[in-house]
A and B are shown apart, each in its own frame.
Chain A
């Protein structure tokens, strides 16, 4: 029996290397319920084609840069939502926590108020305020054991109340600070845009090649070299294409760089660090994680801090975009759009499954639908119905995928 092992291992390694075998394996996994990123790609292509035929300006460099600005707030908040969903919890307070961050940043920069702080300091304080709120709510969830749904529902009401109380008399605070307004409105020069694409592609290549080298040194199967190179070329190509399109209009918006940074950092933390591994473990089987010596309470609190901090950054972006905060800050469809973005991006509501990049794709889809419907001139009614249907389709897909995986004995 022990003599058979090396033969089998070799056979598996040889089998993994061929392109045809890889595609066959992917197809088997697909039939078993692991649909991967296919629905998202199909969705993006279908939405693009639909709006292009309705209103051709949808596919234009100007509209593309607009889209980046429109999707930024939701996408950044959705990155935090991904972490919360990964541990199998929910955060309903993110909408108004982002509103609180907007109020904080606007109050701190207020000229003539005796505390006219520099923009960057005000932004840091706003994000810290969001993270502190997240830590507070997370502590109640993790230590006291109150369900996160209830804690954050209470948070939703409380923080909305705080916003109304603070802005009650004047109703709106204008933002004149340049640094804060630059967050959503500054545009990189063309050369800086190219530099971003180069740095992104180089970083991606370094990460992928680093993995490849360490696996090769350890004598492990390294996968197909063609596919490895193809991945770098594909994602690097997307980055260069995006910069190229943006540079045809005004250039790459700074906020696009912020999205990229947050998503890459989030994906790195979730996928390549011990903390990220423990987040997935808590979402998959909290009891197993606890027995393995993982501090489950701490992980839960930190995840809610991330959620609050991301909501804070999202709130700053949204306030910067409007150059003001008013009584509606953090309200409307912001909360549901952010959660929808994470779910549409393939993050399971049941915990433990999904990627941070899902927030980017989900945010993109929601942003595209909203942007396209506005361009074509449909009403908000159509926008809500469409977004709702896409959300329903995404959750249905997730549920069916889970059932198929269970049924396949997998």
Chain B
């Protein structure tokens, strides 16, 4: 992780309102290559809105987005995908009626010039990707996702995010629905993604998970920045306080910076 080069993805003064509700108010956010950035905050803090803005689901009202120091505009999921930003949603956004391969390639199917699907290469690469992530419990990549367990579904969603050689991967509550062993597996996977040089953003309510994998922690509260904390220099009490009460000192520090 190189502090002098521009962040891989950076948001400056980003605001987003839904009618009279201000979901994000002049929020700053950044993530660098090779780091796992945690994004935490209470319900309604604006975490999901921020993710959806970056993913192109919502368009921002004001503010700027930079990718590797260059200003970019993200108008739709295709723009985000082109930049190499991938989001694994809490609800996983899988189609239950489609099989594993079909879900992995959803929206970017390989096809020949007359839009015929090229199934064999897609199936091959899906199998290889799952193998490289040590996902061994899925019996057939041709079974519908509806037949998979929660952990398997999460694995498919994460595998889909990393298969595309993405630069930035957002994981929204990746461990929320998982048991202890499966949570451990997913967190190992998250660490591995960071070690491979990806910029990883993990959104979680579970501070134990956050402190296990994150290098830095961004805290949002009521749609505003509270601060960015280095894991080495903070503790769970400080983060909890930032989430629930906010800290004026940190807010001032952000303004100065």
Contact = CB atoms under 8 A, between A and B. Distances in A.
Interface of A: 1-2, 4-6, 8-9, 12, 16, 211, 214-215, 217-220, 272-275, 277-278, 280-281, 283-285, 287-294, 352-353, 405, 409-410
B117 A272 contact: yes
Contacts of A215: 119-120, 123
A352 B140 CA distance: 20
A329 to B, nearest CB: 35
Contacts of A273: 111, 115-117
Interface stretch (B12-20, B42-50, B92-100, B199-207): B92-100
A281 B95 CA distance: 6
A288 B117 contact: no
A352 B95 contact: yes
Contact of B136 (A8, A280, A290, A409): A8
B76 A291 contact: no
Contact of A277 (B55, B109, B134): B109
6 contacts: A8-B136, A214-B119, A215-B123, A288-B94, A293-B78, A410-B144
A43 to B, nearest CB: 24
B6 interface: no
B102 interface: yes
B57 interface: yes
**A interface: dominant SS:** helix
Interface of B: 55, 57, 76-78, 81, 87, 89, 91, 93-98, 102, 106-109, 111, 115-121, 123-124, 127, 131, 134, 136, 139-140, 144, 146-147, 149
A292 B106 CA distance: 6
8 nearest A-B pairs in the assembled complex, by CB-CB distance: A292-B107, A284-B95, A284-B97, A352-B97, A410-B147, A288-B93, A218-B120, A293-B77
Nearest to B87: A291
B111 A285 contact: no
A410 B140 CA distance: 13
A5 B131 contact: yes
A9 B93 contact: no
Contact of A409 (B89, B115, B144, B149): B149
Given A1-B134, A12-B140, A273-B117, A292 B98 contact: no
Given A218-B124, A410-B147, A291 B93 contact: yes
Contacts of B144: 410
Contacts of A1: 134, 136
Contacts of A275: 115
Contacts of A409: 147, 149
Contacts of B118: 214
B106 A281 contact: yes
B124 A220 contact: yes
Given A214-B120, A218-B120, A218-B121, A289 B146 contact: no
A12 B143 CA distance: 13
Contact of B139 (A6, A12, A217, A294): A12
Given A281-B98, A288-B93, A291-B93, A217 B77 contact: no
Contacts of B123: 215, 218, 220
Nearest to B118: A214
A293 B136 contact: no
Contacts of B111: 273-274
A281 B93 CA distance: 11
Contacts of A294: 106-107
A6 B132 CA distance: 11
A12 B107 CA distance: 28
A294 to B, nearest CB: 5
B106 A289 contact: yes
A360 to B, nearest CB: 21
Nearest to B80: A293
A294 B105 CA distance: 11
B149 to A, nearest CB: 7
Contacts of A219: 124
Contacts of B76: 293
A211 B119 contact: yes
B144 to A, nearest CB: 8
A278 B131 CA distance: 26
Given A4-B136, A5-B134, A280 B97 contact: yes
A209 to B, nearest CB: 13
Nearest to A290: B77
B57 A353 contact: no
Contacts of B91: 287
A237 B87 CA distance: 49
A405 B146 contact: yes
Nearest to A215: B120
Contacts of B77: 290-293
A9 B140 CA distance: 9
A409 B124 CA distance: 27
A353 B97 contact: yes
Given A220-B123, A277-B109, 13 more contacts: A5-B136, A215-B120, A218-B123, A273-B111, A277-B98, A280-B95, A284-B95, A288-B93, A290-B57, A291-B55, A291-B87, A292-B106, A293-B78
Nearest to A7: B136
A320 B44 CA distance: 63
A409 B55 CA distance: 31
A280 B95 CA distance: 9
Nearest to B78: A293
Contact of B81 (A6, A277, A287, A293): A293
A280 B98 contact: yes
A353 B144 CA distance: 11
Contacts of A220: 120, 123-124, 127
Contacts of A284: 95-98
B127 A9 contact: yes
A7 B139 CA distance: 12
A192 B257 CA distance: 81
A391 B24 CA distance: 52
Contacts of B87: 291
A84 to B, nearest CB: 16
Contacts of B81: 293
A353 B97 CA distance: 7
